[in-house]
A and B are shown apart, each in its own frame.
Chain A
Amino acid sequence: MSDPDHRPATLSRTLALLAGVLAMLAAATNTFAVALAAGGFAALLLGAFKNTRRAVDTGAMALGGGVVVGAGSHAVAAIPLFGAVATVAAWDLAGHAIDVGEQLGRGADTRRLELVHAGAVAAVGLAAATAGFLLYRIAFRDVALSTLVFLLFASILLMAALRE
Chain B
Amino acid sequence: MSDTVHRTERWVGVSALAFGAAAFGAGFRLPAAFLLAVVGVGYATAARAGSAPDVEVALERTLDEDAPEPGDSVTVTLEVTNAGERTLPDLRVVDGVPRTLDVADGSPRLGTALPPGESATVEYDIEARRGEHAFEPVRIAARDWLGTTERETERLTHTELTCVPELEALASFPLRSQATDYAGRVTTDTAGSGVEFHSTRQYRRGDPIARIDWARVAKTGDMTTVDFREERAAETVVVLDTRADAHVADADNESAIDYGVAAGSAVASASLDTSNRVGLAAFGPRWEWISPGLGRTHRVRLREALALSPAMAPTRPPEQFRPLVAFRRLRERLPADAQVVFVSPLVDSYALTVARRLETRGYAVTLLSPDVTDTSTPGRALARLERRRRLTAARAVNIRVVDWDPGTALPVALERASRRWRQ
CA distance A107 to B378 in the complex (A): 37
Of the candidates B39, B45, B120, B141, which one forms a contact with A88 in the assembled complex, judged by CB atoms under 8 Å apart? B39
Number of B residues whose C-beta is below 8 Å from A? 60
B148 to A164, Cβ gap below 8 A? yes
Of the candidates B32, B40, B44, which one forms a contact with A74 in the assembled complex, judged by CB atoms under 8 Å apart? B32
A128 to B47, Cβ gap below 8 A? no
CA distance A65 to B109 in the complex (A): 38
Shortest Cβ distance from A95 into chain B, in angstroms? 6
CA distance A1 to B253 in the complex (A): 12
CA distance A131 to B22 in the complex (A): 16
Q: Quick one: CB contact mask for B147-173 with A, threshold 8 Å, 1 for yes?
A: 110000000000000000000000000
CA distance A131 to B36 in the complex (A): 11
Binding stretch for chain A, among B10-18, B201-209, B255-263: B10-18
Contacts of A105 in B (CB 8 A): 107, 109
A162 to B90, Cβ gap below 8 A? no
A71 to B35, Cβ gap below 8 A? yes
A81 to B13, Cβ gap below 8 A? no
Contacts of B42 in A (CB 8 A): 124-125, 127-129, 131-132
Contacts of A88 in B (CB 8 A): 14, 17, 39-40, 43
Tell whether A150 is near chain B: CB-to-CB under 8 Å. no
B38 to A128, Cβ gap below 8 A? yes
Considering residues B11, B35, B107, which has the most beta carbons from chain A within 10 angstroms of its beta carbon?
A: B35
B19 to A159, Cβ gap below 8 A? yes
Contacts of B146 in A (CB 8 A): 92, 120-121, 124
- Given A81-B39, A132-B35, A164 and B14 contact (CB-CB distance below 8 Å): yes
Binding stretch for chain B, among A13-21, A42-50, A96-104: A96-104
B30 to A113, Cβ gap below 8 A? no
Q: Quick one: CB contact mask for A28-59 with B, threshold 8 Å, 1 for yes?
A: 00000000000000000000000000000100
Binding stretch for chain A, among B98-106, B187-195, B235-243: B98-106
Tell whether B117 is near chain A: CB-to-CB under 8 Å. no
Tell whether B48 is near chain A: CB-to-CB under 8 Å. yes
A104 to B43, Cβ gap below 8 A? no
CA distance A68 to B120 in the complex (A): 42
Considering residues A69, A74, A84, A125, which has the most beta carbons from chain B within 10 angstroms of its beta carbon?
A: A84
Q: Quick one: CB contact mask for A55-87 with B, threshold 8 Å, 1 for yes?
A: 001000100110111011010010011011101
B43 to A72, Cβ gap below 8 A? no
A113 to B107, Cβ gap below 8 A? no
A67 to B106, Cβ gap below 8 A? no
B111 to A162, Cβ gap below 8 A? no
Tell whether B214 is near chain A: CB-to-CB under 8 Å. no
A71 to B32, Cβ gap below 8 A? yes
Chain A, Cβ-Cβ closest to B112: A112
Contacts of B40 in A (CB 8 A): 84, 88, 159
Of the candidates B12, B32, B105, B107, which one forms a contact with A109 in the assembled complex, judged by CB atoms under 8 Å apart? B107
Tell whether B316 is near chain A: CB-to-CB under 8 Å. no
- Given A105-B107, A113-B113, A159-B18, A125 and B32 contact (CB-CB distance below 8 Å): no
Tell whether B186 is near chain A: CB-to-CB under 8 Å. no
B15 to A124, Cβ gap below 8 A? no
Contacts of A121 in B (CB 8 A): 146
Tell whether B311 is near chain A: CB-to-CB under 8 Å. no
Tell whether B278 is near chain A: CB-to-CB under 8 Å. no
Tell whether A144 is near chain B: CB-to-CB under 8 Å. no
CA distance A81 to B18 in the complex (A): 12
A116 to B113, Cβ gap below 8 A? yes
Sampled A-B contacts (15; CB under 8 Å):
A64-B16, A80-B36, A88-B17, A96-B10, A99-B147, A103-B92, A109-B107, A124-B146, A129-B38, A132-B36, A132-B42, A159-B19, A162-B15, A162-B41, A164-B48
Interface residues of A (CB under 8 A from B): 1, 4, 57, 61, 64-65, 67-69, 71-72, 74, 77, 80-81, 83-85, 87-88, 91-92, 95-96, 99-100, 103-105, 107-110, 112-114, 116-117, 120-121, 124-125, 127-129, 131-132, 135-136, 140, 143, 148, 151-152, 155, 158-159, 162-164
Known pairs A64-B17, A109-B111, A117-B147; list 7 more (Cβ under 8 Å).
A1-B104, A81-B39, A83-B36, A125-B42, A128-B42, A128-B43, A136-B31
